[in-house]
Homo-oligomer: A and B are copies of this chain.
Amino acid sequence: MEFEFNFNRGFASDNNSGVHPTILNALAQVNNQHALAYGDDAVTQKAEDVFKSIFGADIEVFFVFIGSAANVLGLKAITNSYNAIICADTAHINVDECGAPERFTGAKLLTVSTPNGKLTVDLIKKHVHGFGVQHHSQPKVISISQPTELGTLYSIDEVKALANFAHQNGMLLHMDGARIANAAVALNQPFKAFTKDAGVDVLSFGGTKNGMMYGEAIVFFNKELATDFMYTRKQGLQLASKMRYISAQFIAYLSNNLWAQTAGHANRMAKLLAQKVADIPGITITQSVDVNGIFAIMPAELIPALQKEYFFYEWDESRSEVRWMASWDTTEEDIERFAATLRKLVLQ
């Protein structure tokens, strides 16, 4: 390379972090001669087998480039354009995908306000009606994020309650698992326990935010839902030609508990950060720190100064709420310095 980049670690997003060395190394390991393009290669076969070892053989798994694509194409597979998808108003599919779910599925998003990013049967009941009425978008999917965009977690029972409600109404349960490793570690449960076994029908299984370079998976727990999905992926511009390089990342990520180490570390760092700032005057943590995100209200006038040192995002300007994310590569020293900087700003 012809010049030096100066990077710093911060708390803006786990998407800002780099790639775990083991993942980088996996790329090099499969970089050898020729492999059939578009997923017809042995590395991809192996990566699919790894997913089957986790979720059971009766699944279908497809790799795509990014989390938004995993969500949008997964939803496309299970909706028609006259359907409606129920989600939290804070859901990634609602606020962070530039309308791609509507654009690509044609379906309507029905959103509900939640105190903590989590749907409940009670909250969504009002949208589950109008079946058979031709004027109304037909409710078909409940979409939840695990963990949520507010850093909170569904318990297994909470997932089951939504799955049952969905299925009783002829609907399906979709889970956005962009940070699913963080959820699994926090719940101390295997992936399968709070997805397939809890009634989830389609899962976006993320890797990029937890140490991979690129690559997400769409997992169908009912294979019939995936009958034609290969065309949907291709038409959705998500079929990688040199797919072995996504597959290799997933093999490395899911082997030797790499995913658990990285996610577990990020979760611990978030808890540590929460602990370190909890007693700073004017700082109020607003959501349960279940995984690797911290939501906090802080003095509005101090935000720019803190951002100058560590870039991060304001979440809700109206109440000067900010978001801090820990990553797989966050260090205790990062936390100490960040907390100290914040404390100093507050106490000035």
Q: Which residues of A contact B (CB under 8 A)?
A: 1-3, 5-10, 12-13, 15-19, 21, 24, 26-38, 41-43, 46, 65-69, 72-73, 80-84, 95-100, 102-104, 106-109, 111, 134-138, 208-209, 213-214, 228, 230-242, 244-245, 248, 251-252, 255, 311, 327, 329
Determine how close the nearest CB of chain B comes to the CB of A74; give it in whole angstroms.
12
C-alpha spacing A252/B33, complex, angstroms = 20
Q: A242 contacts which of B29, B208, B236, B240 (Cβ < 8 Å)?
A: B208
Determine how close the nearest CB of chain B comes to the CB of A3; give it in whole angstroms.
7
Instruction: Give the 6 A-B residue pairs with the shortest CB-CB distance, closest first.
Output: A7-B33, A82-B231, A15-B37, A99-B137, A103-B106, A16-B34
This chain: copies in complex: 4
Residues of chain B with a CB closer than 8 A to A135's CB:
38, 95-98, 234
Determine how close the nearest CB of chain B comes to the CB of A348; give it in whole angstroms.
26
A-B contact pairs, 12 of them (CB 8 A): A2-B255, A9-B33, A12-B36, A18-B34, A19-B27, A65-B214, A68-B239, A81-B103, A81-B235, A84-B99, A96-B136, A209-B241
Q: A108 contacts which of B1, B109, B228, B239 (Cβ < 8 Å)?
A: B109
Residues of chain B with a CB closer than 8 A to A19's CB:
27, 31, 242, 245
Contact of B99 with A82 in the complex, beta carbons under 8 Å: yes
Residues of chain B with a CB closer than 8 A to A233's CB:
134
Determine how close the nearest CB of chain B comes to the CB of A318; give it in whole angstroms.
8
Contact of A237 with B234 in the complex, beta carbons under 8 Å: no
Contact of B238 with A213 in the complex, beta carbons under 8 Å: no
Q: Residue of B at shortest CB range from A110?
A: B111
Residues of chain B with a CB closer than 8 A to A65's CB:
65-66, 214, 237-238, 240
